[in-house]
């Protein structure tokens, strides 16, 4: 799907749910995998990539969405396309109580910044939803987030 | 470490750099760097930021990767750069050959009352850049140093970093366009032509 959309820059602070996708991006000659120190770097990079005529995608877990909030103002003010694939933590069989707070705030905080949200609760729906989110973001130039439920990825095992 | 008092004039430094820009793409960090760039060389190929503090260097990285044949200059302030220090590490990992990050370092938060920043209090940005993998990184104090650095900023294999120590003397405000969508569209049209509006 990222290939079909000719995405060139894939930024991420990884989550286990993105591991396979990141490997695929790294193996793809036409795409550049760009690890970040904090998620807001990927938001700012999307503006530069688009100014230069390239599409980007940002991968993160729900805790990282809070790090993006002010920078998302730039994406929305400048009408830059930014699809975000966010794996949720802290909502389904979570072991780590510190994850719950940003998990609860992820959707409302992104919505407050004008980001279009789509939630995926089953693995079968991911393909279709991500495809629709990519098209919506690139065709209408705005932030679009797909929240992939923890139920789909599974809770991290602490053992 | 003993403090060395900045003597360079920010407006003149920016004008001297942009005089040699040719077709370079410029990203302006929020605040005074925007006014400096607008005063020196207003162009649709300048992208001025009015928010998103800490993001200028990363905008530069995305642009440099998308346009590998064009030189990309990020010109920002010390407060803005300090907010995005991690981006120096991210740029170091990507090694964009065409990117130069230039910090106009007055050691102050100039837009909010001239409070001291970390660079007045012992933090050396060029050291961070160097340790992050920039191919060249330096702190510029004198006009003679700036003169030798200007060709490097435009031509040396990147990523290149320079902190230019400038006085805290404010220059008259020269305000560029501030509507974000307009700034984006005019930049893309100037760079990409009709493809910008597809």
Check: complex ipTM more than 0.90 = yes
What average pLDDT is seen over chain A?
Answer: 96
The pLDDT value given to residue B54 = 98
The pLDDT value given to residue A118 = 97
Question: Does residue B66 lie in a domain region?
Answer: yes
Nearest C-alpha neighbor of A143 from the set A78, A72, A91: A72
CA distance A85 to B73: 30
Residue with tokens 């072991």: A95
- How confident is the model over B8-13, as a mean pLDDT? 98
Q: Which residues contact A97 (CB under 8 A, 6 or more apart)?
A: none
Tens digit of each residue's pLDDT (9 = 90 or more) over B64-99: 999 999 999 999 999 999 999 999 999 999 999 999
Q: Is B87 in contact with A34 (Cβ distance < 8 A)?
A: no
Three-state secondary structure readout of A90-118: CCCCCCCHHHHHHHHHHHHHHHHCCCEEE
Chain B residue numbers touching A73 (CB-CB < 8 A): 51-52
Question: Does residue B191 lie in a domain region?
Answer: yes
Tokens of A30: 């036409």
The pLDDT value given to residue B13 = 98
CA distance B82 to B16: 24
Chain A residue numbers touching B183 (CB-CB < 8 A): 78
Note the helical H segments in chain B.
Answer: 10-18, 32-41, 56-66, 78-83, 85-94, 125-131, 143-155, 180-192
Which segments of chain A have a pLDDT < 50?
none
Beta bridge partner(s), residue B72: B25, B99
Cis omega (within 30 of 0) for bond into B164? no
Nearest CA in chain B to A68: B52
Domains held by chain B: number: 1
Question: Does residue B188 lie in a domain region?
Answer: yes
| CA distance, residue A159 to nearest chain B CA (Å) | 31
CA angle A103, A108, A110 (to 5 degrees): 90
The pLDDT value given to residue A158 = 79
Q: Which of A39, A46, A51 to mutate to test the interface with B (most CBs of B within 10 A)?
A: A51
- Spell out the domains of chain A, with CATH numbers in brackets: 7-150 (3.40.50.970)
Q: How confident is the model at residue B37 (pLDDT cuts 50, 70, 90)?
A: very high
The pLDDT value given to residue B158 = 93
Q: Considering CB atoms only, which of B50, B56, B188 is closest to A51?
A: B188
- The CATH number of the domain holding residue B117 is 3.40.50.970
Nearest C-alpha neighbor of B100 from the set B159, B183, B174: B159
- What is the interface size between A and B, counted as CB pairs within 8 Å? 123
Residue span of the structural domain in which B157 resides: 10-197
Q: Which of A10, A32, A44, A68 to mutate to test the interface with B (most CBs of B within 10 A)?
A: A44
Helices B56-66 and B85-94 sit at what angle, rounded to 10 degrees? Answer: 20
Question: Does residue B5 lie in a domain region?
Answer: no
The pLDDT value given to residue B1 = 63
Q: Considering CB atoms only, which of B25, B52, B65 is closest to A9?
A: B65
The pLDDT value given to residue B197 = 86
CA distance A60 to B160: 29
């Amino acid at each position: 799907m990222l290939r079909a959309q000719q995405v060139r820059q894939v930024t991420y602070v990884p989550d286990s749910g993105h591991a396979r996708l990141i490997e695929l991006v790294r193996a793809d000659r036409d795409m550049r995998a760009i690890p970040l120190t904090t998620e807001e770097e990927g938001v700012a990079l999307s503006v530069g990539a688009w100014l230069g005529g390239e599409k980007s995608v940002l991968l993160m877990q729900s805790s990282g969405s809070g790090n993006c909030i002010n920078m998302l103002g730039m994406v929305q003010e400048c009408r830059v396309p930014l699809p975000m694939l966010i794996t949720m933590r802290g909502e389904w069989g979570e072991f780590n109580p510190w994850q719950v707070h940003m998990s609860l705030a992820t959707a409302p905080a992104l919505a407050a910044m004008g980001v279009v949200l789509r939630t995926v609760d089953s693995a079968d729906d991911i393909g279709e939803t991500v495809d629709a989110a990519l098209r919506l973001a690139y065709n209408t130039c705005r932030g679009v987030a797909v929240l992939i439920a923890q139920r789909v990825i599974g809770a991290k095992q602490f053992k | 470490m003993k403090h060395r008092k900045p003597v360079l004039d920010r407006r003149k430094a920016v004008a001297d750099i942009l005089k040699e820009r040719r077709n370079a793409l410029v990203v302006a960090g929020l605040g005074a760097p925007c006014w400096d760039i607008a005063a020196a060389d207003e162009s649709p190929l300048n992208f001025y930021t009015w928010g998103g503090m800490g993001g200028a260097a990363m905008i530069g990285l995305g642009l440099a990767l998308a346009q590998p044949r064009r030189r990309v200059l990020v010109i920002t302030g010390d407060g803005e750069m300090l907010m995005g220090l991690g981006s120096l590490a991210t740029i170091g990992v990507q090694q964009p050959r065409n990117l130069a990050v230039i910090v106009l370092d007055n050691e102050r938060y100039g837009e909010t009352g001239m409070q001291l920043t970390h660079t007045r209090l012992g933090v050396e940005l060029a050291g961070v850049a160097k340790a992050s993998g920039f191919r060249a990184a330096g702190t510029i104090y004198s006009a003679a140093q700036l003169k030798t650095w200007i060709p490097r900023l435009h031509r040396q294999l990147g990523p290149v970093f320079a902190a230019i120590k400038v006085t805290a003397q404010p220059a008259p405000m020269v305000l560029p366009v501030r509507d974000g969508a307009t700034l984006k569209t005019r930049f893309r049209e100037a760079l990409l032509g009709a493809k910008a509006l597809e």
